[in-house]
A and B are shown apart, each in its own frame.
Chain A
């Protein structure tokens, strides 16, 4: 119900939605020298650091795939997720002057951030192809399933982001909590390490973190050696759906008072 009503409102305000995405794209790399290259530099730099410290020094395995490819594959959805929830989480506060002066469906702003993030994601994904070519690594044909897999990451990022955004309107503590949450979340997600390192009985628990199933699916579709545990995947998808609907519900419920409190 809530999803339907929201979709209808977004459709009515599609022009504004388009301009919000457009503004985000325009503004993001204004007055920066490297511009859109930053979309690649971030995950790539992280991958290099991970490879040196976690693979070379700490000997973390990578399921028979070159570690840079192994970690970069996971860093793509992870970077999208972490930067999107940070942006959405702060979006109601940064757009305060809009919210208190004009009516539009408040969800336009988080949705615009989530859509715009896909652009960075796509740019960074191109480098994965380059990386595979460098290591003479043959990807699985299932890689073509990635566009489908972006749906759960997008839904999850929106859901989590909207909860933080709504809370941030009332409690500015969220601004300090967010970076901390992002930092911790990385460690409970199999980005640096493979799930095979975790004892089998704990894997379902790990899947309660919806990113686990999603990232495993990203790996399994790109890297022929990797497989996804279907039970883990289902648990993660259920959690994603739950967080998305819950986030949407909470955001919409509180949105009517945003202009009064923010």
Chain B
């Protein structure tokens, strides 16, 4: 089999802090002047989004790409799809390429659904004749038939999303590059999309698929690569790669997680989060976290420079990368005092952890209002929630019942039995309905 995608020593460097956005002439002149005087040369923070990536993918194969946020997964897709140019290295992609970095790219609000199908389709590389042929099928997939001639600006966000994905699902490129497009939308829609993805690789197409959804990667892709700080850290059968990748997440459930070595981290560094601990109702580190238990998150921090009223936040994400909730001092209205250099910890008590059994990612941030981050750790650790009989019914909640449960109480007082005459009438109606069968 010939290779559909070949990359050799592919590197991409970004310069931070350089006239990226909304630069003003003043700044440019000043920096150009400084450079002339030889003062500004090393001031640019350089970041290698990709570094010496070697990759070969045979035609008809499906490759999963995993890695932490900011590791370079999306940059790799952008370089391969020619949206951005590599700083060095070479690459070749054989055949018609379609990149799907976003659902509904180029939708125009003023145009109708039908017009946008044509526009979006052509942007993604479909021919006019092809779109015309598939129009009915696209409309059916998106379930927007009655709004086809309504401007897209009147669509709900769900409808837009469905329309965008419907167009994408009808692409027939030789090579398809898909970024985390499935992290949006409701669970039912995600399932539909995963189904469509599955059809893609049975069609003999070459697919590269970036996702946080590790189970989707494992199911769809026989092979996966793990990108870490711009480099390919591992390349092999997806279950092995995923296992190795997961092993690097210090699971906070195992007696807390040390966060001092976590990379990459953003923020000014005035203060750093050094560890997270999970405590049970007695304040002891807990070896196991179960649905419904009382739990305390303890964030340990170290202050290096004076900070005024910092805010603390813990975000909980599903393994699809969807944020479930954010627990933070800002929305809770909890204020801290001015902190001078030193160490400390802050506790947040959760009366009952109403997450269903699964593995969850945590992101942690320390920030001042704005927010200006002092420290921001994206997906830095995980917690594994174990089953428990939260409703005291003898039946445990599980993933099958969603990501979380709601503390609830059932009552059933609104029922009254119909008297005999009503009952017989109802029976007649029912048999009338049933008859045709």
Contacts and interface: CB of A to CB of B under 8 A. Distances in A.
Task: Answer yes or no: do A and B interact.
Answer: yes
Interface of A: 15-16, 18-19, 22-23, 26-27, 30-31, 97-104, 170-173, 256-257, 259-261
Given A27-B111, A31-B110, A170-B19, A101 B28 contact: no
B105 A98 contact: yes
A259 B19 contact: no
Contact of B83 (A27, A102, A173): A102
30 contacts: A15-B122, A15-B126, A16-B125, A18-B128, A19-B119, A19-B122, A19-B128, A23-B111, A26-B111, A26-B115, A27-B111, A30-B151, A97-B105, A98-B123, A101-B101, A101-B102, A102-B83, A102-B99, A102-B101, A102-B106, A102-B123, A104-B123, A171-B24, A171-B28, A172-B24, A173-B24, A257-B84, A257-B85, A259-B83, A259-B84
A260 B20 CA distance: 8
A103 B105 contact: no
Contacts of A16: 122-123, 125
A261 B106 contact: no
A27 B151 CA distance: 11
B123 to A, nearest CB: 6
B203 to A, nearest CB: 22
A30 B22 CA distance: 30
Nearest to A256: B85
A27 B152 CA distance: 12
B390 to A, nearest CB: 43
B72 to A, nearest CB: 14
Interface string B77-109: 010011111000000000001010110011010
A30 B110 contact: yes
Contacts of B108: 23, 27
A59 B153 CA distance: 51
Given A97-B102, A102-B105, 18 more contacts: A16-B125, A19-B119, A27-B111, A30-B111, A31-B110, A99-B83, A102-B83, A102-B106, A102-B124, A103-B81, A103-B82, A170-B19, A171-B23, A171-B25, A256-B84, A259-B83, A260-B14, A261-B20
A30 B127 CA distance: 25
Contacts, number: 78
A26 B119 CA distance: 11
B127 A15 contact: yes
B181 to A, nearest CB: 11
A172 B22 contact: yes
A243 B125 CA distance: 32
Contacts of B118: 19
A98 B115 contact: no
B12 to A, nearest CB: 9
A101 B127 contact: no
Contacts of A15: 122, 126-128
Nearest to B116: A23
Nearest to B80: A103
A27 B110 contact: yes
Contacts of B122: 15-16, 18-19
A71 B125 CA distance: 45
Contacts of B115: 26
A172 B123 contact: no
B106 A97 contact: yes
Contacts of B20: 261
Contacts of A99: 83
B71 to A, nearest CB: 18
A31 B102 CA distance: 28
A241 B108 CA distance: 34
Contacts of A171: 23-25, 28
B111 A101 contact: no
B92 to A, nearest CB: 15
Given A19-B118, A260-B14, A98 B82 contact: no
- Which of A30, A31, A260 has its CB near the most chain B CB atoms (within 10 A)? A260
A101 B119 contact: no
B78 A259 contact: yes
B47 to A, nearest CB: 12
B109 to A, nearest CB: 9
Contacts of B127: 15
Q: What are the 3 closest A-B residue pairs judged by CB atoms, nearest first?
A: A103-B82, A19-B122, A256-B85
A102 B119 CA distance: 13
A226 B373 CA distance: 68
A30 B111 CA distance: 8
Nearest to A173: B25
A176 B20 CA distance: 18
Nearest to B78: A259
A31 B154 CA distance: 13
A172 B28 CA distance: 12
Contacts of B119: 19, 22-23
Contacts of B102: 97, 101
Contacts of A256: 84-85
Contacts of A257: 84-85
B85 A103 contact: no
B18 to A, nearest CB: 9
Contacts of B111: 23, 26-27, 30
A13 to B, nearest CB: 9
A98 B105 CA distance: 6
A23 B110 CA distance: 10
A18 to B, nearest CB: 8
Pick the most buried of B14, B119, B122, B128: most chain A CB atoms within 10 A of its CB: B122
A207 to B, nearest CB: 31
B23 A101 contact: no
Nearest to A261: B20
A256 B28 CA distance: 21
A170 B85 CA distance: 17
Interface string B1-33: 000000000000010000110111100100000
Contacts of A19: 118-119, 122-123, 128
Nearest to B28: A171
Interface in B44-89: 78, 81-85
B81 A172 contact: no
B123 A260 contact: no
A8 to B, nearest CB: 16
Contacts of A104: 123
Given A170-B19, A261-B20, A103 B110 contact: no
A25 to B, nearest CB: 11
